[in-house]
Amino acid sequence: MTAVRSESAESAETATGAAPAPLRFPPGFIWGAATAAYQIEGAAAEDGRTPSIWDTFSHTPGRVLNGDTGDIAADHYHRFRDDVALMSGLHLGAYRFSVSWSRVQPTGRGPAVQRGLDFYRQLVDELLGRGITPVATLYHWDLPQELENVGGWTVRDTAERFAEYAGIVGGALGDRVPYFTTLNEPWCSAFLGYGSGVHAPGRTDPEAALKAAHHLNLAHGRAVGALRATLPAAAQTSITLNLHQIRPLSATPADLDAARRIDAVGNRVFLDPILSGNYPADLLADTAHLVDWEALVRDGDLAEISRPIDLLGVNYYTPTLVSDGRTHAEGTDLARNDGHGASAYSPWPGSEHVAFHLAPGETTAMRWSVDATGLYDLLMRISREHPELPTMVTENGAAYDDYLSPEGAVNDPQRIAYVHGHLAAVHRALADGADVRGYFLWSLMDNFEWAYGYSKRFGAVYVDFSTQRRIPKRSAHWYAAVARDNVLPDVPEEAGTS
């Protein structure tokens, strides 16, 4: 890996009066943007696609703000060629997209629908034709509803079905897609989907959430096996985790224990089985009253789950500030403070007493605090604990209340500052030895933000959902210049234009 200069050297320059230097990234560093199928594709009932759990959930009154659904979303299914041209104009080197399982295998089992696969084949061809590297995620939360009807992620068979689907997609795209990610943020699938119920399928059962977590781990491991059987040797396999950078509110034993617990059920529930082949003993103890782990984890499961991967995807937005809610009067309202949406049910099985706090300072439109040191800390943690495993920032970005000016422009300096700060953190991690291979902005364009519908805009490109017109925001032009030059300007305001 090419060495990059440490920020401390640069701040020393500043201290001696010399101009601060822009931050140069290593040659070959991947600059991309990310999306997910249900959030942008639309065409919900076209070409054989059947409902996923998110179709059902979004069509259930009261589940999604304003009754929004992904039926049309950003209509990317029909506009992908223009969207790829847009990416090319923004100098993106890579594009991370997800495949809709129910477009490819409408019942979640059996033979593939060719029209569904053709959409992704054409998308990949279009990307490659413009020199953009495709990065495919197999599962970004949209389980075929038919599989949910027979138990969803709470049953083992879903892991088997996922491996079959992975083999189909690997066989269809593997010759042209160099990076495959099995699951995106399985924590959300398990604990928001089956624990707090703020995501599809909207169940609120801690036992089901823990079972789902194990079956998602198993699905990942089996899918890696299925992909390896179809992919060329050079193709890379990975999983993307939304790792929580957990900070205790104080150094009291109770708050430190709260942080340990959330690390167990927020991070190590995936990291440890996938990367080390075991479940953390403290997680098993914290949740022993909720699930029978011995019955759940069968012989051979951990060996399958820990099949080697080539890369770990890290999604990071905001740090997680916790305390023992029994010892702090404020902050015990889990539903409002853990940043994952309002529910009377906790997405933290076995640790329901932990309270979540908003750090003082700036927040985004999601009410997530802005703190780039969390990204640095996470990348350094993985680098320390798994020095042989490269990472990729597969999502990072911010929602702000963007609006289109009468002149037809979207000026979003806060997003530029947010991304600037986080890219500086990535650069610092590189300088300190972390093997970070790339950065994907979330998101390429405004989209369906799950339970918040279209009310939150994460895109670098503004989407006018009434006309489907795309308008690159100022941050898109700024990011394009960074991607083109492989250099982060020293201050965010000095944004280049593409």
Q: Which residues bind ligand IFM (CB under 6 A)?
A: 36, 39, 185, 315, 395, 442, 449, 458
Give the SS3 label for residue 402. coil
Which residues contact residue 431 at a Cβ distance below 8 angstroms, ignoring those fewer than 6 apart? Answer: 3, 4, 5, 6, 7
Give the CA-trace dihedral at 257, 260, 266, 267, to 10 degrees: 180
**CA 388 – CA 237 distance, rounded (Å):** 15
Which residues contact residue 420 at a Cβ distance below 8 angstroms, ignoring those fewer than 6 apart? Answer: 488, 489, 491, 492
Taking the least distance from each CB to ligand IFM, the nearer of 185 and 324 is: 185
List the Cα angle 349/352/357 in 5-degree steps: 120
Q: To 10 degrees, what angle do helices 114-129 and 157-173 make?
A: 50
CA atoms within 13 A on the CB side of 279: 22
Taking the least distance from each CB to ligand IFM, the nearer of 301 and 449 is: 449
List the Cα angle 214/216/217 in 5-degree steps: 65
Taking the least distance from each CB to ligand IFM, the nearer of 379 and 398 is: 398
Residue 359 CA: distances (Å) to CA of 117, 317, 322, 342: 44, 13, 10, 18
**CA 313 – CA 328 distance, rounded (Å):** 35
Q: Which residue in the list 185, 330, 352, 385 is annotated as catalytic?
A: 185
Give the SS3 label for residue 313. strand
Based on the residue annotation, tell me whether 10 is a catalytic residue of this protein: no
Burial (CB count within 10 angstroms: exposed 0-12, middle 13-18, buried 19+), residue 192: buried
**Within 10 Å of residue 284's Cβ, how many Cβ atoms?**
16
DSSP for 7-39 reads: HHHHHHHHHTTPPPPPEEPPTT-EEEEE--HHH
Taking the least distance from each CB to ligand IFM, the nearer of 36 and 321 is: 36
Based on the residue annotation, tell me whether 395 is a catalytic residue of this protein: yes
Closest CA to 1 of 19, 27, 24: 27
Q: Which residue in the list 7, 41, 148, 395 is annotated as catalytic?
A: 395
Taking the least distance from each CB to ligand IFM, the nearer of 198 and 429 is: 198
Burial (CB count within 10 angstroms: exposed 0-12, middle 13-18, buried 19+), residue 484: middle
Taking the least distance from each CB to ligand IFM, the nearer of 272 and 395 is: 395
Taking the least distance from each CB to ligand IFM, the nearer of 36 and 173 is: 36
Q: CB nearest ligand IFM: which residue?
A: 36
**CA 108 – CA 155 distance, rounded (Å):** 14
Active-site residues, by number, are 185, 395
